[in-house]
Amino acid sequence: MSRVLVLNSGSSSVKYRLLSGAERLASGMVDRIGEAGSPAADHGAALKTVATELADAGFGLDSPELTAIGHRVVHGGTTFTEPTLITEEVIKKIEELVPLAPLHNPANLAGIEVARRLRPDLPQVAVFDTAFHSTISPAAATYAIDRELAERLSIRRYGFHGTSHAYVSREAARAVDRPMGNVIVLHLGNGASASAVSAGRCLDTSMGMTPLEGLVMGTRSGDLDPAVVLYLERTGGMSPDEIDTLLNRHGGMLGLCGDNDMRAVEKRLAAGDPDAQLAFSVYCHRLRKYVGAYYAVLGTVDVIAFTGGVGENSSLVRETALAGLEALGIVVDPVRNRRGDRLISTDGAAVRVAVIPTDEELEIARQTLEVISRTNRG
């Protein structure tokens, strides 16, 4: 069985998983890269720590059984619409996309460059967060601003969490025996996004040019009147960096009630905390609105899938977000929902509701092997 090492190189951490098919052989994370006291001063040191941990687990990085390395890359722009075998030319193109993801793509590239030095003989594949959403139509991707300016600066909807949406939409369709069906995916973690998927193709997604747009998130505001940004600058006297921090790091649930952990919010909610009540209501209202919007985009819906830390674990979010949608054929069974069943809709409901644990690393490994297989056939 082929073994694939999946690497997710972030700005301050490297997560890894070694897979043989769907079996997890080893996994871990090296964090606090570059911080005082950290064992990893940079991504080179972090990857060497990964190699040591794999060797200690009996899976040396130099093992001949290792088939390929798959890398998560956040932004592929319009250049990369599918997983891609990494070459020098591909690296240059990923570098050109850094302005679209200045915090993420440089870290992803650092992991790629170190891994290629450690195993230059192995095929390595870039799997892009944005790629799954490349199938959305121009009508869904285009912002209503000056077209020439938008094209020059690559301003459009890209979408993120693509590996999760790809995996979960496929598994949800399988769960209801509709492999070519229509699926609404709600990926709810600290970051949150929704997508409308038909026959495995994404038609629309909530995140936009950046991961800030869309649903209310742990620390991100989600949808916002653009004039608020101008108002904060002109009247609030805030700089662009301060506004960026406000919306990305101090917005969302944290901004509304001081907690970005849904478990803490729900405890406060049960205690009657009015700030937690408002935050929770805003969060679920936005979710319900996107479910309705994507129902309209798809025309018919076979299954709604919840995933991510909040989506998989909060029965209260699932129940509240879908409340009042019975006329659309969406009815949650309260017992199944609280129990955390895979299917939580009532018998006979026109739209099934599923809880599908996401597995982005497995999806990256699968896509990596598909690229290797395609390359070998060619």
Q: Which residues are catalytic?
A: 129
* HSE-CB for 121 with a 13 A CA cutoff: 7
Length of the chain: 378
Phi, psi of 194 (to 5 degrees): -125, 155
CB 90 within 8 A of CB 126: yes
CB 209 within 8 A of CB 155: yes
| Residue that has been written with the tokens 């899976």 in this structure | 59
CB 186 within 8 A of CB 301: no
Strands, sheet with 84-85, edge to edge from the N-terminal-most edge strand: 23-30, 14-20, 3-9, 66-73, 124-128, 84-85
User: ∠253-318-334 over CA atoms, to 5°?
Assistant: 140
The C-alpha atoms of residue 327 and residue 296 are separated, in whole angstroms, by: 14
Tokens of 177: 């025996």
Closest by CA position to 16, among listed 370, 367, 365: 365
The strand pair at 303-307 and 84-85 is best described as unpaired
E strands, 144-281, in order: 182-188, 192-198, 201-205
